[in-house]
Amino acid sequence: MNAVTQTESHTTQIFSAMIEILTSSGLGKEKCGLRKSDKRYDQTRYEELAIAMNKKGFSNRAGEPLNRNTLKQIVHRVSKNKVLFESFRPDWDKFRDTHSTQETTSNNHKNGCLVCGSVVHNKDKKLCSSDCVKVYQEHKDAPHDSKFPTIFHQIQYEESFSKLN
């Protein structure tokens, strides 16, 4: 096996494990230490995922422990291959009912992020992370009903309205 194929194989293996760990943790099938109630955020950080993967015996190509930069590079590599990236997309329907049953931090000022729906702990903010800010900036001018400031506000309203019916 040549070096390029080994790199691609290792990248795919690590990315697959990342998806599996995140999925099983998100569905509550396995406790990986990713959701900590004392944290101010609901999104898993690369560093937390790297720690969980190191505990399971994963390592980088040099045999060293994984770190957040390694995982970011792997995500970047896989995302360049759209077909491969899409093949790892989880079945989001499995997650529909899990968020409401999982305990997070208690704070009366929590709002849902306009982009991803995660908890936003600062009552003055509408987005949870810099990644969501980027997505928001890219799509805020998408066609939408004029009674909403952005497409994200419209989607949030429609989702909350559909839950009532």
Which pLDDT tens digit goes with each residue over 78-99? 888 888 888 888 777 776 665 4
Alpha-carbon distance of 80 to 39, in angstroms, equals: 31
Q: What is the mean pLDDT of the chain?
A: 76
Specify the pLDDT at position 35: 58
Contact between 134 and 96 under an 8 Å Cβ cutoff? The reply is: no
User: With 90 as the cut, is the pLDDT of residue 13 above it?
Assistant: yes
Specify the pLDDT at position 85: 83
Which pLDDT tens digit goes with each residue over 21-67? 888 877 777 776 665 555 555 567 788 888 989 999 999 989 999 99
Specify the pLDDT at position 65: 95
Segment 112-120 long-range contacts (CB within 8 Å, at least 24 positions apart)? 112/156, 114/150, 114/152, 114/153, 114/156, 115/152, 116/43, 117/156, 118/41, 118/42, 118/43, 119/41, 119/42
pTM to 2 decimals? Answer: 0.53
Instruction: Classify the C-alpha dihedral 94-26-54-45 as positive or negative.
Output: positive
User: With 70 as the cut, is the pLDDT of residue 103 above it?
Assistant: no
Alpha-carbon distance of 127 to 146, in angstroms, equals: 21
Specify the pLDDT at position 7: 58
The identity of residue 129, as a single letter, is S
Q: Where are the domains of the chain?
A: 1-96, 107-165
